[in-house]
Each structure stands twice: as structure tokens, then as C-alpha cells.
């Protein structure tokens, strides 16, 4: 498409969206100034959910109910391959076992699809209605390669809303409620497979929420997606806007997955205006952690950079970005994301000429870059945008806010 050597990255769902919503209360960015992590507890803790359990754990469930362990293997097949949503529909299993599961309080843990919206390019955005009636978004993005095979990327959410309030993001504008549990992340991928009637090949944690604020569930979902849904680790990308002390934690797990860091600016001052939580995580500290992530995992870090017209998209910004990246290493890749405009946004989409000049300036300084092809522009594609259309009330009520602030004070010690 573009006459440059850049490869077009074919998926997109990360960035997004809307104008800044001023926090009504103390910002989580200020809370993030704590050296601890920002993770809030789930409000729907439930140990009787089958989805998210490994085959071995499902075998134990079967044995605990007086069955032979092969019944656990059948459960695994029914949940992950057949994608059966209700225990009573486990028709391969004896009725007595189904009744025992039900009587013991077990459930599959799938949420109904509340709404779908399809873009002309085939991107489908789903709203799932969780048990507590919260709505979350997940997006399926199909891409046909030159050989005709289809890659299907699932862009999954990790939180209900997001506390970080990046200035361009509809999710941040909509407020924050709670972290998602492991099964609530996994089910997004299964829902996309159902809707597309095809296997998901790639997963990107770029939907609603900051994955590093819910690291325990994200790691649990990552493991389940890899081992149970059978998506290769290298096909999974975990993104972050940067939360102090979490990149090292992630690196210690030595996953063979890509870390995508949302940078959006080449210097601290500009970054703080776009990503308010950056105040608690100086750029040098973030870049140092990225370098260590590479040294620990041998996996290249990619940097996401939303191009905002007239804000961060000049050649001078590109030169400064190249200098920053060279200062901290060589194994980096930059994904340039043209801002996806929505009504009421204070930001504008950059001109194609600016995008190409920005990318060329990076490449001429030996920084590999891709301009991400925007998908689903006509489908409320920006993260949080569709959810906000259906769940108008801000997610953070006064009560929630008190809860989330005290929870963040504990910074998800439990989950990270």
C-alpha cells in the first residue's frame, strides 16, 4: 500500500479514541506514583468456574466427584474444543455427572454475547455481558494473506474499563470498575472463534484495560490460551502503557511472547501530556526496563506510537524517537498507529504524508517501523468506544471509586 519498505501490520485495535476526560477524583496516575503495582481485585471471585482450568485440574474435578479421570479430559474437550457453554449441554457425559457438577456449584463460566458490530473489512467487535452485568469489548480481526490463508487476531480486554485515562482513549474516558478474571479473558477468544467459525491464530492484549494492572489473571489467561486453546506463545502480544515494577515481573516468567509498550511520545514532557500515568514512570526507567526485558527473554520489544496530528507526528519527533531507541538498544520495532478519529476527540488523524515522513525518518536512522493499517473504522473500532455507547453510566461510582482507590493502594499485591 505504501511505497516504503515498511510492512503493514494488519491488525489494530489498541488505540483509540477519545478526548481527555478529567478525572473526578484523585487520578490513578497519582496512585501509580506508589512503587507498588496498580492492580484492583476482581469483584466476582469464583472458584467454581471450569473455563480456565487445565486438563489436569479438570481431571481432579472429575475425580473429586467420584468419576474416573478420563472424564476430566472429556470436560477439557467440551470446554475448549467444542466450546459448550452449559454443563447440561455436555451431552457426551452421563447425566449423573452433569447433575453432580451442577449440584457442586460448578459452571462453565461463559458470558452471553450482548451485541456485535461488523465493519466492512470483516472486523467484528463483540460486547460480552459479564455475570455482574458489566460489558466488555473484544475484537476479532481477520486478515487474508497473499497465499489465501486467514489469520484471525483476537484483541482482548484485561479489565472492565481502565484507570489510567490516557488522553486519546475512550476506555479511559469510560472509567474503571474491576479486573477481569482469567476465564473472562479466555472466553473472549472462544467467543471470537464461535462468531468467526474459525480458529484464532493471534492474541493481543490491547483491548480495554492495562494488562500490567491485572498481571496475575493475564498470566493465567496466557497460560490457558497457550496450553488449552493451543495458541503459540509467539502469537500472543502483551501490551502496556507502562506500570512501575511490572515489566521486570513479566520478564521473570520468560514468556516467548512480545511485549508491546505504548510510548506515544519521544520525551517525558510530551508523554506526560498524552499518557498522564507516565508521571509516575520516567521514560528512562521505562526504557531501562524494556532493555532488561529483552536481555531476560531474548524477545524483541515493540513500541506502539499513536500518531496524533500536530502533537507528536513531526519528523523532529521521529528523529528524537530514533535517538531515544538507539540510546537504549537495537532490538526494537515501532508500530505507528494513525489515530482513529471519533466524535468529540481533541485529536485529529495525521495526514498520510506526515505518517510516511515520520516512518521514513525512523527507517533512515535504522529503526524498523510499520504503519498499522487501521481496521474497522466504521465499527466503533476504538477500544472502549462501543462499550461506552451501550453502558453510558461511568463505570466508577463513588462506592467503586473508594473501593478501587483502596484496592490500588494495595496494588494488587495479590495478583501481581
C-alpha–C-alpha distance, residues 296 and 173, integer Å: 35
User: Does 162 interact with ligand SF4 (rule: CB under 6 A)?
Assistant: yes
Q: Which of 160, 235, 241, 369 binds ligand SF4 (CB under 6 A)?
A: 241
Alpha carbon distance, N-terminus to C-terminus of the chain: 42
Q: Which is nearer to ligand SF4, 213 or 362 (CB)?
A: 213
Q: Which is nearer to ligand SF4, 78 or 166 (CB)?
A: 166
Q: Which is nearer to ligand SF4, 6 or 383 (CB)?
A: 383
User: Does 261 interact with ligand SF4 (rule: CB under 6 A)?
Assistant: no
* Range 297-316, binding ligand SF4 (CB under 6 A): none
For ligand SF4, which stretch binds (CB under 6 A), given 50-58, 60-68, 158-166, 349-357?
158-166
Residue 39 φ/ψ, nearest 5 degrees:
-130, 135
Cβ pair 191, 239 in contact under 8 A: no
User: Does 166 interact with ligand SF4 (rule: CB under 6 A)?
Assistant: yes
Residue 306 φ/ψ, nearest 5 degrees:
-75, 120
Residues in contact with ligand SF4, total (CB under 6 A)? 12
C-alpha–C-alpha distance, residues 74 and 72, integer Å: 5
Cβ pair 346, 21 in contact under 8 A: no
Closest CA to 209 of 50, 53, 20, 383: 383
Cell 489436569 -> residue: 56
For ligand SF4, which stretch binds (CB under 6 A), given 130-138, 146-154, 160-168, 313-321?
160-168
Q: Which of 13, 137, 155, 290 is catalytic?
A: 137
Alpha carbons within 13 A on the beta-carbon side of 241: 32
CB of 179 to ligand SF4, least distance (A): 13
CB of 247 to ligand SF4, least distance (A): 14
User: Does 155 interact with ligand SF4 (rule: CB under 6 A)?
Assistant: no
User: Does 247 interact with ligand SF4 (rule: CB under 6 A)?
Assistant: no
* Range 209-228, binding ligand SF4 (CB under 6 A): 209-210
Give the per-residue contact string, 171-210, with ligand SF4 (x = CB under 6 A; - = no).
Answer: xx-----------------------------------xxx
Q: Which of 162, 169, 224, 383 is catalytic?
A: 383
C-alpha–C-alpha distance, residues 283 and 268, integer Å: 6
C-alpha–C-alpha distance, residues 119 and 11, integer Å: 13
Long-range Cβ pairs for the range 318-321 (8 Å, 24+): 318/266, 318/357, 318/358, 318/359, 318/361, 318/362, 319/361, 319/365, 320/266, 320/267, 321/263, 321/266, 321/362, 321/367
* Range 374-413, binding ligand SF4 (CB under 6 A): 383
Q: Which of 50, 156, 164, 224 binds ligand SF4 (CB under 6 A)?
A: 164
Q: Which of 169, 238, 287, 336 binds ligand SF4 (CB under 6 A)?
A: 169
* Residue 55 designated active-site: no
The cell numbers describing 94, all together, are 452421563
Cβ pair 384, 136 in contact under 8 A: no
* Residue 323 designated active-site: no
For ligand SF4, the binding residues (CB under 6 A) are: 162, 164-166, 169, 171-172, 208-210, 241, 383
Catalytic (active-site) positions: 137, 383
Amino acid at each position: 500500500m505504501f511505497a516504503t519498505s515498511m510492512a503493514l501490520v494488519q491488525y489494530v485495535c489498541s488505540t483509540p479514541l477519545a478526548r481527555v476526560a478529567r478525572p473526578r477524583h484523585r487520578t490513578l496516575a497519582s496512585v501509580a506514583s506508589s512503587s507498588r503495582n496498580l492492580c484492583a481485585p476482581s469483584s466476582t471471585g469464583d472458584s467454581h468456574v471450569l473455563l480456565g482450568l487445565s486438563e489436569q485440574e479438570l481431571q481432579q474435578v472429575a475425580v473429586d466427584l467420584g468419576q474416573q479421570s478420563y472424564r476430566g479430559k472429556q470436560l477439557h474437550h467440551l470446554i475448549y474444543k467444542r466450546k459448550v457453554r452449559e454443563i447440561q449441554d455436555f451431552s457426551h457425559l452421563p447425566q449423573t455427572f452433569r447433575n453432580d457438577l451442577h449440584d457442586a456449584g460448578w459452571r462453565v463460566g461463559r458470558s452471553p454475547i450482548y451485541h456485535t458490530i461488523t465493519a466492512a473489512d470483516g472486523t467484528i467487535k463483540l460486547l460480552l455481558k459479564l455475570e455482574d452485568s458489566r460489558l466488555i469489548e473484544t475484537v476479532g480481526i481477520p486478515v487474508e494473506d497473499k497465499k489465501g490463508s486467514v489469520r484471525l487476531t483476537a484483541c482482548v480486554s484485561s479489565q472492565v474499563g481502565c484507570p489510567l485515562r490516557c488522553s486519546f482513549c475512550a476506555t479511559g474516558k469510560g472509567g474503571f470498575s474491576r479486573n477481569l478474571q482469567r476465564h473472562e479473558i479466555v472466553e473472549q477468544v472462544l467467543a471470537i472463534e464461535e462468531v468467526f467459525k474459525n480458529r484464532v491464530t493471534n492474541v493481543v492484549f490491547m483491548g480495554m484495560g492495562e494488562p500490567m494492572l491485572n498481571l496475575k489473571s493475564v498470566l493465567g489467561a496466557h497460560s490457558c490460551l497457550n496450553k488449552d486453546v493451543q495458541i503459540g506463545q509467539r502469537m500472543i502480544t502483551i501490551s502496556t502503557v507502562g506500570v512501575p515494577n511490572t515489566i521486570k515481573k513479566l520478564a521473570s516468567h520468560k514468556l516467548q511472547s512480545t511485549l508491546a509498550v505504548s510510548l506515544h511520545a519521544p520525551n517525558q514532557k510530551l508523554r506526560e501530556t498524552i499518557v498522564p500515568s507516565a508521571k509516575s514512570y520516567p521514560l528512562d526507567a521505562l526504557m531501562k526496563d524494556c532493555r532488561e526485558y529483552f536481555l531476560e527473554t531474548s524477545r524483541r520489544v515493540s513500541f506502539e506510537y499513536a500518531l496524533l496530528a500536530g502533537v507528536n507526528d513531526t519528523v523532529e519527533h521521529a528523529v528524537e524517537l530514533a535517538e531515544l531507541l538507539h540510546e537504549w538498544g537495537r532490538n526494537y520495532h515501532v508500530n505507528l498507529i494513525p489515530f482513529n478519529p471519533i466524535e468529540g476527540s481533541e485529536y485529529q488523524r495525521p495526514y498520510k504524508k506526515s505518517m510516511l515522513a515520520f516512518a521514513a525518518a525512523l527507517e533512515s536512522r535504522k529503526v524498523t517501523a510499520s504503519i498499522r493499517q487501521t481496521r474497522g473504522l466504521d465499527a466503533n473500532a476504538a477500544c472502549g468506544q462501543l462499550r461506552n455507547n451501550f453502558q453510558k453510566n461511568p463505570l466508577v461510582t463513588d462506592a467503586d471509586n473508594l473501593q478501587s482507590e483502596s484496592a490500588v493502594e494495595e496494588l494488587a499485591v495479590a495478583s501481581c
